[in-house]
Amino acid sequence: MSTKFAFHGGVHPPENKRQSTGGPIQVAPVPERLVVPLSQHIGAPSEVVVNVGDKVLKGQVISEAVGRLSVNVHAPSSGVVEAIESRPVPHISGMTAPCIIIKTDGQDQWCEHQGLEDYQSISKQELLDFIRFRGISGMGGAGFPTDVKLHLGDDHIVNTLVINAMECEPYITADDMLMREHADQVVKGIEIIAHLLKPHHVMIGTEDNKPQAIRAMEQAVAESKLDIDIIVVPTVYPSGGEKQLIKLLTGVEVPSGKIPADVGIVCQNVGTASAIYDAVYNGVPLISRIVTLTGDALGHPHNMRALIGTPLETLLQAAEVKDKELYRLVIGGPMMGFTVDSQSIPMIKTTNCVIAATYDEMPPAPAANPCIRCGMCEQVCPAELLPQQLHWFAKGKEFEKAKHHNLFDCIECGACSYVCPSNIPLVQYYRFAKSEIRAEEAEQRKADHARMRFEARQERLEREKEEKALRRKQRAEEAAKAQAVKKDKASQTTEKATNSGEPDLRALKTAAAVARTKLKKAQKALQLAEEKGVGDIDKLRQTVTELEAKEKATQEAYDQAQSAPAPAPVVDIKQLKTNAAVARTKLKQAEKALAKAEESGEGDIEALKAKLVEQQAKTEKAQAAYDQAESGNAPQAAAPVVNLDELKETMDAAQSKVDKAQKALDAAIASGSPAVEKMKAGVEKLQGKYEEAKAEYDKAISSAAPAQAATANIDELKADMDAIQAKVEKAQKALDAAIASGSPAVDKMKAGVEKLQGKYEEAKAEYERAISSAAPAQAATVNIDELKADMDAIQAKVEKAQKALDAAIASGSPAAEKMKAGVEKLQGKYEEAKAEYEKALEVQPQASSANLDELKADMETMQGKVEKAQKALDAALASGSPAAEKMKAGVEKLQGKYEELKQEFVSAGGQINEPEPEKAIDPKALKQNVSIMRTKLKKAQAALDESEDDTELQAEVERLSKAHDEAKAAFDAYEKEQIDKAAAEGVDLKQLKIDAAMARAAVTKAERALDKAREAQQDDLPEIEQQLMAAQQEAEKLNQTLNRFTH
């Protein structure tokens, strides 16, 4: 026998329950229209999954839960979805909310549904999902999603399960009648809840004013295998409050701000237990409930099982309402319920009572008087608050003080308002204060979020500013270093030229140019002075004469230096000797490596032998060069090497100046500037300099020795050619756009395109000349891999452009012609790249076929070793072996050897056909794609339904339907593949996921227990730490196994 406790306060209002318990529960008629709100619970509203015009069956899901704290909504009867719109719903504020309106067909036809034969044989998660799918939420209070409460055992230790059968509020008898007529269903529902939560103790609490229900429950409990205590307590309001009931039955007080699960207790209502029974045993979702119809304005007060969404008007008519006597319509009880003005409002999952009161039964509330500080409200408050003080805080809008006085512990039972002699509507003040505090907190959260974003932005900007400053500093330092190195090289070159007696052609050329410039300026000054008869003409003539002599001398020196033979190169015997010594050292190292490999039998002996032979050849070559230089038989100096790069830079710079001056001249002509003649002369002068530079460059190209031609930087020439070609293409696009828009600048842009085309032809000719004059040795070193990569890249572009062209042609795009020209241009580039690659293959020395086969065999053998080692590593990781890290290093080492052999095989001319890597499948993306396709399909279908006859919309719906089916098939195939993959290794993937989730929950539970043990300084702390470690290891092992099949 359990001990009975008591809670603070409470009142004894008139019960008024006998009026509705005189007859059995009756079935309410099916209304012509059902109004089903999307939100009938705490949490997020559900998401509509049907469309207007859809035919629905009884029990069919019409809106799905969104997120964890949400509930499915089902069709209460069969019919057609007539509208999806906002309608008035049961709420104290009289608000409207989205609803699905179903026009019933009178057939009440069920969809396919079936219960579980043995719920104990399936996993806990599967059972919870089964209950969640059927839309069960709390039926005794605020409508909390039931599956969330049933999950509390995952991270809380549940010792006691309390079943609330109090129904303490006046008038309401729905739970009383449920226990009288269906006690067995209630007990079986409790058994299901106990199976999920595994409590040590199950208690049913009820008041002593329900003797018939108590007897029925005692008989049903006697037949149950569970040890259930039925605790009968004295009738007092509000004993049905969750915290008050727990205090009554267990003596445990739930702390402020906590939930019952924090003290090891879970509370459920008898109506919820009955709904769980219907869901599990019969597969019936929550589409109806028992509702009490009472009040003096009803001719036949009684309890009815009515469909969710039934308008109050239908229920009142079934209870023979007296419209003339009806004064107030209340949903809920007289203490915590609220008045509604319209009979079209539907009943929902939490509607347990409808009171049709007369004027005498519920007269208007009298006017409020000032508080007399009697203290009666404090005496009856079941939450042990100070209602009078909270009233003053709410009235004075001192919300922070109200919050600190535990305002949110108020359950709004109305006991304080009931006993107040001043008729102050205290609960309304508390509701107002709570709403204001929630609004302020929401605004504060928004402000904090905005502040955090602002601070993060400021921090990012500051960081970027510092990084830019650092980069600028680094660039300045690098530029300074580069300038210093350049100066050092210049000084070394000058010193070397001075020491060797070799003339500096560049310096002489600059000196000659400067002398010519000074001479021209002096001649102009003399001419001006003679014309105007001013200045010291004799002195100017003397200056001209001196400058003419100087100009002649510098030009002769430059010409003489150009024609002078190059001095013989200085042979650095010391360097040659060092090269020979280094080569001998490397040879000895190669010999030792080979000997060590032959002794141990490890390593690639054949590769080491080949390396030794190669090093012997290098050593002999270095030694021969040194011996030849030491004996005085060094080879004669080659012809002087002309710096083609410098000449080309000079020519390009001159051309750039010409282009710039020409643009300025064109602008001056267009604006009618008086400086046109002078600018023309400047352009002609710059053009002359450009011609000189070009002639000098062409002369150097034509007179270059074969050895020089071999050293021409072909890559740079090709890069220059490609860059100019890109400019040509860009300019051509701009010209096409200008022609299309009728721009007046077309002629000028055409000239620019022709000029760029000329430059491209020159660059191309120079590149082809360098290619043709390259020595065979150079041709042999052409990087075939790069040429092939270029060819493949261009081929990919061709294919991509061709696809785009095909799509444009199919859609009748006006850009098809332009795209066709682009494809042809890319095809031409591909042919050029292919020809260059094939030409390089012809001159590239190839390894013998026997050698290629040997290299390929070595490579394939090493690849097999890599795969074998990788499999062993995977097995070690799955079993948690301590040798996993060492094995991982071994795999990386073998992979490196494989890459070396692969590179050697390719360099020898071998071809590798590697399979394309499989694209990683993202299950989250697949699931999201299914959801996106479904949403798009619904929107398109809705648009099609609204339109009369739209062929395009019909085609879009068909396309989206196909895309949705494909996305769903892809996701289903992925899931099946993962399940089959696991099954092949003897693993039940579904059970593995459940076990992994339970293991993670066990870790959470152990962590909480450890925290509590540390706070209480318990003696068994080491034992709890060991349990936590064991739980973590088990969870890690299961998660690793799960990741093998799901990632």
Give CA 985 to chain center in angstroms: 32
Among residues 152, 105, 143, 145, the alpha carbon closest in space to that of 124 is found at 152
**Higher pLDDT among residues 784 and 399, named by residue:** 399
Mean pLDDT for 808-814 is 74
> Cβ distance 5 to 249 under 8 Å?
yes
Each as own residue / partner, the long-range contacts of residues 688-696 (CB below 8 Å, 24 or more positions apart, any chain) are 689/654, 689/657, 690/651, 690/654, 690/655, 690/657, 690/658, 693/647, 693/650, 693/651, 693/654, 694/651, 694/654, 696/647, 696/650, 696/651
pLDDT exceeds 90 at position 488: no
Residue with tokens 């869901």: 279
pLDDT exceeds 60 at position 1038: yes
Residues present in the chain in total = 1047
Mean pLDDT for 293-301 is 94
The arrangement of strands across the sheet holding 302-307 comes to 26-27, 302-307, 288-294, 353-357, 328-331, 338-340
User: What amino acid occupies position 846?
Assistant: Q
Mean pLDDT for 677-699 is 78
Quote the pLDDT of residue 945: 73
Report the C-alpha gap between 790 and 719 in whole angstroms: 13
What tokens were used for 927? 């699931």
Mean pLDDT for 394-403 is 90
Q: What is the pLDDT of residues 329-371, one digit of tens each?
A: 999 999 999 999 889 999 999 999 999 999 999 999 899 999 9
Quote the pLDDT of residue 316: 94
Q: What is the pLDDT of residues 247-287, one digit of tens each?
A: 999 888 888 888 898 889 999 999 999 999 999 999 999 99
> Which among 314-323, 551-560, 618-627 has the top mean pLDDT?
314-323
Report the C-alpha gap between 816 and 274 in whole angstroms: 69
Quote the pLDDT of residue 922: 66
Report the C-alpha gap between 840 and 835 in whole angstroms: 9
User: Which residues touch 937 (CB under 8 Å, ≥6 apart)?
Assistant: 957, 960, 961, 964
DSSP per position, 650-672: HHHHHHHHHHHHHHHHHHHHHHT
Residue with tokens 């449920």: 178
Q: Which residues of 410-425 are buried (b: 16+ CB within 10 A; e: fewer)?
A: bbbbbbbbbbbebebb
Start-to-end CA span in the chain (Å): 55
Report the C-alpha gap between 659 and 81 in whole angstroms: 75
User: Which residues touch 967 (CB under 8 Å, ≥6 apart)?
Assistant: 926, 929, 930, 933
List beta partners, residue 648. none
pLDDT exceeds 70 at position 148: yes
Angle at 262 between CA 256 and CA 263, to 5 degrees: 90
Check the annotation: does 111 bind a ligand: no
Residue with tokens 């701000």: 257
Quote the pLDDT of residue 772: 65
pLDDT exceeds 50 at position 912: yes
pLDDT exceeds 90 at position 217: yes
Mean pLDDT for 909-927 is 61
List beta partners, residue 612. none
**Higher pLDDT among residues 813 and 750, named by residue:** 750
pLDDT band at 502 (very low <50, low <70, confident <90, very high): low
> Cβ distance 316 to 293 under 8 Å?
yes
> Cβ distance 619 to 580 under 8 Å?
yes
pLDDT exceeds 60 at position 206: yes
Neighbours of 793 (CB within 10 A): 12
Quote the pLDDT of residue 710: 41
User: What amino acid occupies position 954?
Assistant: Q
List beta partners, residue 56. 79
Q: Which helix (H) or strand (E) holds 295?
A: none
pLDDT exceeds 80 at position 867: yes
Report the C-alpha gap between 33 and 105 in whole angstroms: 9
Mean pLDDT for 785-798 is 78
User: What amino acid occupies position 1009?
Assistant: A
Among residues 242, 42, 264, the alpha carbon closest in space to that of 146 is found at 42
> Cβ distance 167 to 207 under 8 Å?
yes
Among residues 42, 66, 61, the alpha carbon closest in space to that of 140 is found at 42
pLDDT exceeds 80 at position 929: no
Quote the pLDDT of residue 178: 95
Quote the pLDDT of residue 766: 77
**Higher pLDDT among residues 775 and 526, named by residue:** 526
Q: How far is CA 1009 from CA 153, 199, 499, 673, 766, in A?
A: 14, 17, 88, 92, 81
Quote the pLDDT of residue 640: 46
Report the C-alpha gap between 567 and 641 in whole angstroms: 12
Quote the pLDDT of residue 386: 92
Report the C-alpha gap between 946 and 860 in whole angstroms: 64
Report the C-alpha gap between 822 and 815 in whole angstroms: 11
Please give the share of the chain, as a percent, with pLDDT higher than 70: 87
What tokens were used for 393? 């805080």
**Higher pLDDT among residues 347 and 796, named by residue:** 347
pLDDT band at 520 (very low <50, low <70, confident <90, very high): confident
**Higher pLDDT among residues 858 and 431, named by residue:** 431
Quote the pLDDT of residue 775: 43
Quote the pLDDT of residue 702: 65
pLDDT exceeds 50 at position 707: no
Please give the share of the chain, as a percent, with pLDDT higher than 90: 30
Report the C-alpha gap between 493 and 800 in whole angstroms: 52
Check the annotation: does 377 bind a ligand: yes
Report the C-alpha gap between 339 and 328 in whole angstroms: 7
pLDDT band at 510 (very low <50, low <70, confident <90, very high): confident
Quote the pLDDT of residue 1047: 60
Q: What is the pLDDT of residues 820-840, one digit of tens each?
A: 878 888 888 888 888 777 776
Q: How far is CA 167 from CA 39, 242, 267, 319, 429, in A?
A: 24, 12, 14, 22, 26
Check the annotation: does 353 bind a ligand: no
> Which among 164-173, 483-492, 643-652, 701-710 has the top mean pLDDT?
164-173
Q: Is 782 left (phi over 0), alpha (psi -120 to 50) or beta?
A: beta
Alpha helices in 533-643 (DSSP H): 537-563, 573-600, 605-630
pLDDT exceeds 80 at position 381: yes
Quote the pLDDT of residue 1018: 73
SS3 80: strand
For 357, phi then psi, to 5°, come to: -100, 150
Is the Cα dihedral 926, 929, 933, 934 positive or negative?
positive
pLDDT exceeds 80 at position 176: yes
Check the annotation: does 381 bind a ligand: yes
Q: Which helix (H) or strand (E) holds 266?
A: strand 265-269
pLDDT exceeds 50 at position 847: no
**For the purposes of burial, counting CB atoms within 10 Å of the CB of 187, is it exposed (0-12), middle (13-18) or buried (19 or more)?**
buried
Report the C-alpha gap between 161 and 168 in whole angstroms: 20
The DSSP code for 240 is T
pLDDT band at 525 (very low <50, low <70, confident <90, very high): confident
SS3 302: strand
Quote the pLDDT of residue 492: 63
**Higher pLDDT among residues 772 and 409, named by residue:** 409
User: Which residues touch 561 (CB under 8 Å, ≥6 apart)?
Assistant: 503, 505, 508
Q: Which helix (H) or strand (E) holds 853?
A: helix 849-879
